[in-house]
Amino acid sequence: MKAIYVYHDQGAHLLDLPIPEIGKGEVLIKAHYSGVNYKDALAITGKGKILHSFPMTPGIDVSGEIVKTRPRKFKKGDEVLVTGCGMGERYNGGFAEYVKVSAENIVVIPGGLTKRKSMVLGTAGFTAAYAIHQMEKNGQQPEAGPVIVTGATGGVGSIAINMLANLGYEVIAITGKAEKKLWLKKIGAAEVIDRKKIKYGKRPLESAQWAGAIDTVGGETLAGLLRHIKPRGNIACIGLAGGYELNTTVMPFILRGINLLGINSVDCPMPLRQKLWQRLASDLKPTELETIYSGVLSLEEIPEFCEKMLAGKTSGRWLVKPG
């Protein structure tokens, strides 16, 4: 089978490798689709310590059909997906024609989604759904006011915008790509703010403008958002595209009761994972998924694409067709 292998200090290579043998409790998936997430770009380029050992096949998402299974709860031909769960980090991932995974990590693709659609969503869509779910649990409602989405043209950001807009939220998109304003409005943004022009202020608390935020950027952006969120609002902290440090004060928490919600899609427990995929196929299913879908890559094309992604030059969701 063809697979990308990343070697320590020698980068990513496309190789012909034997199809893996499965052990007890494992399943072999013929990969139909994967997708590129920011974490995959860090893994492929070596710019982030994502892979736990070498050589390793990256790719934190895969969908396809089961060709071999040891546990009987699945059968040959079942259409399934895996996102996160350590795939493409602790064990070989989705940038290959066949993927061996523990049966415990498998989600049967729910009715309403397909192998392709589930990977246009991928970890990005799953994480956006997770963030919204946690915000709702903390009382977020459209009536409370506008919700900010940062890294707006990215995978997580764009899917979050469309989902929030469909739920009735007024969505404010913050982006570095002024040329994508119309695209952002088409997927649901009510307003688009240029990230280079936004001023968050320096005081521990500034004017309370937004009822909540989904933040994929971190760093100064997250510190800035904390100063401006309305009392009892929620910020879902998802990413670090702008930096992993957070310099802030306790004031937003103790004087406005802001909730900073950490989102970790990798280790989401299976019952909640199943529930979120059901929501992705129903009430949270994006209506502009084909607008957000930006193209499909072969395995050969992934390394060059990943450099562009880390430079912030890509947008939307990119599929991978391994076969």
| Residues of the shown chain interacting with ligand NAP in the complex, contacts defined by CB under 6 A | 37-39, 123-124, 127, 151-157, 175-177, 195, 216-217, 238-242, 263-266, 309, 312, 315
Q: Are 55 and 5 in contact (CB under 8 A)?
A: yes
Chain residue whose CB lies nearest ligand NAP: 154
Give the nearer residue to ligand NAP in terms of CB position, either 96 or 240: 240
- Compute how many other C-beta atoms are within 10 angstroms of the C-beta atom of residue 219: 16
Give the nearer residue to ligand NAP in terms of CB position, either 96 or 309: 309
Exposed e or buried b for every residue in 172-184, given b needs 16+ CB within 10 A?
bbbbbbeebbebb
Give the nearer residue to ligand NAP in terms of CB position, either 69 or 150: 150
Q: Are 148 and 208 in contact (CB under 8 A)?
A: no
As measured in angstroms, the least distance from the Cβ of 70 to ligand NAP is 29
Give backbone dihedrals phi and psi of 46, rounded to 5 degrees, phi first.
Answer: 80, 10
As measured in angstroms, the least distance from the Cβ of 315 to ligand NAP is 6
Give the nearer residue to ligand NAP in terms of CB position, either 141 or 244: 244
Dist CA 175 CA 164 (whole Å) = 17
Beta-sheet pairing, 98-102 with 107-108: unpaired
Give the nearer residue to ligand NAP in terms of CB position, either 121 or 299: 121
As measured in angstroms, the least distance from the Cβ of 137 to ligand NAP is 17
Give the nearer residue to ligand NAP in terms of CB position, either 38 or 277: 38
Give the nearer residue to ligand NAP in terms of CB position, either 250 or 311: 311
As measured in angstroms, the least distance from the Cβ of 107 to ligand NAP is 16
At 280, which amino acid appears?
L
As measured in angstroms, the least distance from the Cβ of 87 to ligand NAP is 13
At 275, which amino acid appears?
K
Q: What is the DSSP letter of 109?
A: P
Instruction: Note the helical H segments in 167-213.
Output: 181-187
As measured in angstroms, the least distance from the Cβ of 163 to ligand NAP is 14
The owner of tokens 């949270």 is 284
As measured in angstroms, the least distance from the Cβ of 12 to ligand NAP is 18
Distances (CA, A) of 44 to 5, 292, 309: 9, 23, 11
